[in-house]
Structure 1
C-alpha cells in the first residue's frame, strides 16, 4: 500500500489521479467538481480497512473509490452533495413562497 501512497502523494492535479488509477472521466465534470470528487474519494477510503492490503488490492480499492466518487458528481452537483464544511453549513435555498388568492383578497379587505 505504501508504494501506491507514495506515488499518489506526488500528484498535484485531479487528472493525474484519474490517469494513475486508470479511471475514465469527462473533463467537463472534472473541471467543475475536481476537489469535491477527491475529497469524497478520501471519505470513502477512510471507511475502508487498508492495513493488510497488498499494493494491488490497494490500487483496486482506490480505483473503485475514485470511480464511485466521480459517479456521485456525474449524477449530482457539489452544492447538492455538500462535501465541504462551507457547503454543509450553508442554508439551503427555500422554494418560492405560495400566496393564495384568498390570502390576497383577505388582506385587501383588511386594508
Structure 2
C-alpha cells in the first residue's frame, strides 16, 4: 500500500484493523473486535464534521490519523451503548409527540368515536340553527 495515494489506499481498506494499521495506530484487538463498525462510523462522522480538509496528502493523512485515533479512543474509554453511533441506539429514547386537544377522544367499549366538535359547536352534529340534541344545548 506504500505505493498508493492516500485516496487509493482508503478505497482498498475495509476492516477497522486495516485502517488502524495503515495509519500506524496501536490498538487492542478485543476493543476493535467488539466495536469495529462503531469505530469506522465514528471515524466517518468525524471526517464529515472536520470541514475543509487539506488538499495536500501529508497534512490530510495527519488529520485522518488524528480523527481515527480519536474514534478508536472513544470506544476504549466508553462503549457502543453509551456512544450511540448508530440510529438503532436512539430508537428507544423518549420521543416527543404533539397531539392537539381536539384530536383526543374517549371511546367507550365498542362505541363509535364522534368527530371533534367544530369551533363553537357542542358536538351533537346538528347545525348552528339552535336545534341541538345534546344535553349541552
Question: What TM-score, normalized by structure 1, do the two folds share?
Answer: 0.75
Q: CA deviation at 1:90?
A: 2.8
Cα distance, 1:91 vs. partner?
3.7
Counterpart secondary structure, 1:53: coil
Determine the structure 2 residue equivalent to 1:102: none
Gaps of 5+ in 2: 95-137
The CA deviation string for residues 23-45 of structure 1, in whole angstroms up to 9 with x for no partner, is 11000100110110110011111
Larger fraction in helix: 1
Distance 2:69 2:77 in 1: 12
Q: Equivalents in 2 of 1:28, 1:78: separation in Å?
A: 14
1:56 and 1:44 map into 2 onto residues whose CA distance is: 18
Among residues 56, 75, 86, which one is paired with 1:73 in the alignment?
A: 75
Q: Which has the higher contact order (CA 8 A, sep 6+)?
A: 1
TM-score, length-scaled by structure 2: 0.61
SS in 1 for 2:63: helix
Q: Which residue of 2 aligns with 1:87?
A: 89
Which entry has the higher C-alpha Rg, 1 or 2? Answer: 2
Deviations 1:64-107 (A, max 9, x none): 00000111100111011000011122348xxxxxxxxxxxxxxx
Figure out how many residues of one structure are paired with residues of the other and give that number: 90
